[in-house]
């Protein structure tokens, strides 16, 4: 089988981890070029040692390379602001598609087990955020059984796993994730919170998902959640329920107020998740980064097969 050649823009932690995943694990993607802007970055140095072509001249340097003509997929692992610049160049080439790992959200949000099939023809897809990749499948799992009025997620990650890109994009994280909870998860209203935990030793990623939905069959909701967990585990083995799903009735006599929706009552569902990284390049506690690179690679592999 002929592999699809890919480039990664961004030689930081996320880009380097994604490169190593593709080199070690992918049967459909071929690592062609690693792109950075710092000639002394560890990511570019590792790429060279692994016989991957490199450039430290950013997206314009990539386009000048002879490898560019054969590349079909470009992964952008930079920042929201940098992605706007990179997309300006990549979109000029009809045969290239870009998978955006930043919160820029130029293209539609994509969470592989939830809405991949509706985005197979899009040139630019956005992988939301680490918190979004971890939690939106759970909101969608509840929503396919009982209509979700409100979805709220709290993503807790180790402070050590939050590099300068993550810290610079905190506002974009909350805004992008909240919007994706609505557009992909199916909630009428979404909210996202991120916590950088300085604990030592560093904690693995933990995510809490709250939904308020219409009343529904609790066993059916629980089964839907377990099925969705199994779908995510196909590409993120370290993804798991930290505790069993919990339910609480919100009676009509004591509704809760949701900004933008007013008072609502129904069934509250709480899902507690843990995401442990695979340890390919990053430590196991960096599940927040691992789920992004794993979801991006899974998306690239499915697009490669379709194309």
CATH number of the domain that residue 301 is part of:
3.40.50.720
Nearest alpha carbon to residue 299 among 140, 128, 181: 128
Tokens of 96: 């290239």
Kindly state whether residues 146 and 263 are assigned to the same domain. yes
Q: What is the pLDDT of residue 295?
A: 98
Kindly state whether residues 162 and 52 are assigned to the same domain. no
Averaged pLDDT of the chain: 96
Kindly state whether residues 153 and 278 are assigned to the same domain. yes
Kindly state whether residues 207 and 166 are assigned to the same domain. yes
At residue 116, the 3 state secondary structure works out as helix
Burial (Cβ within 10 Å: 0-12, 13-18, ≥19) of residue 307: exposed
Kindly state whether residues 267 and 235 are assigned to the same domain. yes
Which amino acids are annotated catalytic? 130
Q: What is the pLDDT of residue 199?
A: 95
Q: What is the pLDDT of residue 83?
A: 96
* CA–CA distance, 62 with 68 (Å, rounded to integer): 6
Q: How sure is the predictor about 277, in pLDDT bands with cuts at 50, 70 and 90? A: very high
Kindly state whether residues 266 and 134 are assigned to the same domain. yes
Kindly state whether residues 62 and 80 are assigned to the same domain. yes
Kindly state whether residues 114 and 146 are assigned to the same domain. no
Mean pLDDT within 14-19 = 96
Kindly state whether residues 112 and 212 are assigned to the same domain. no
Lowest-confidence segment of 126-135, 159-168, 186-195 by average pLDDT: 159-168
Q: How sure is the predictor about 166, in pLDDT bands with cuts at 50, 70 and 90? A: confident
* CA–CA distance, 121 with 70 (Å, rounded to integer): 19
Kindly state whether residues 136 and 280 are assigned to the same domain. yes
Q: What is the pLDDT of residue 167?
A: 86
Tokens of 115: 């809405």
Q: What is the pLDDT of residue 252?
A: 97
Q: How sure is the predictor about 164, in pLDDT bands with cuts at 50, 70 and 90? A: confident
List the alpha helices (DSSP H) in 26-161. 42-49, 58-64, 80-90, 112-115, 130-143
Tokens of 229: 């967990």
Mean pLDDT within 243-251 = 97
For residue 241, list its beta bridge partners: 273
CATH number, domain containing residue 217:
3.30.360.10
Residues 77-116 pLDDT 10s: 999 899 999 999 999 999 999 999 998 999 999 999 999 9
Domain range for 150 is: 130-284
Kindly state whether residues 123 and 134 are assigned to the same domain. no
User: Does residue 1 carry a pLDDT above 80?
Assistant: no
Mean pLDDT within 229-254 = 98
Output helix, strand, coil percentages for the chain, rounded to the nearest 5.
Answer: 40, 25, 35
Q: Is 230 left (phi over 0), alpha (psi -120 to 50) or beta?
A: alpha
User: Does residue 168 carry a pLDDT above 90?
Assistant: no
Mean pLDDT within 189-206 = 96
Q: What is the pLDDT of residue 306?
A: 80
At residue 83, the 3 state secondary structure works out as helix
The count of structural domains within the chain is 2
Kindly state whether residues 277 and 143 are assigned to the same domain. yes
pTM, rounded to two decimals: 0.95
Judge whether 54 and 48 are in contact, CB under 8 Å. Answer: yes
């Amino acid at each position: 089988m002929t592999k699809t050649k890919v480039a990664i823009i961004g030689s930081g932690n996320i880009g380097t981890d994604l490169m190593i995943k593709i080199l070690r694990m992918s049967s459909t993607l071929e690592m062609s070029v690693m792109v950075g802007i710092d000639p002394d970055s560890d990511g570019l140095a590792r790429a060279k040692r692994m016989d991957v072509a490199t450039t430290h001249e950013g997206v314009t340097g990539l386009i000048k390379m002879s490898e560019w003509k054969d590349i079909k997929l470009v992964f952008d692992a930079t920042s929201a602001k940098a992605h706007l610049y990179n997309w300006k160049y990549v979109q000029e080439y009809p045969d290239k598609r870009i998978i955006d790992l930043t919160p820029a959200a130029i293209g539609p949000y994509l969470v592989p087990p939830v809405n991949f099939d509706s985005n197979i023809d899009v040139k630019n897809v956005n992988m939301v955020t680490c918190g979004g990749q971890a939690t939106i499948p759970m909101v969608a799992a509840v929503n396919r059984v009982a209509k979700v009025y409100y979805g709220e997620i709290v993503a807790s990650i180790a402070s050590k796993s939050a590099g300068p890109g993550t810290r610079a994009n905190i506002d974009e994280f909350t805004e992008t994730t909240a919007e994706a909870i609505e557009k992909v998860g199916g909630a009428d209203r979404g909210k996202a919170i991120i916590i950088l935990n300085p604990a030592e030793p560093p904690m693995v990623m933990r995510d809490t998902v709250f939904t308020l939905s219409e009343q529904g069959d609790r066993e059916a909701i629980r089964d839907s959640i377990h099925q969705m967990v199994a779908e995510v585990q196909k590409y993120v083995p370290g993804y798991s329920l930290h505790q069993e799903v919990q339910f609480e009735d919100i009676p009509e006599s004591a509704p809760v107020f949701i900004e933008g929706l007013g008072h609502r009552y129904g069934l509250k569902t709480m899902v507690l998740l843990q995401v442990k990284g695979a340890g390919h390049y990053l430590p196991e506690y960096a599940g927040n980064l691992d789920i992004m690179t794993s979801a991006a690679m899974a998306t690239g592999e499915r697009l490669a097969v379709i194309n």
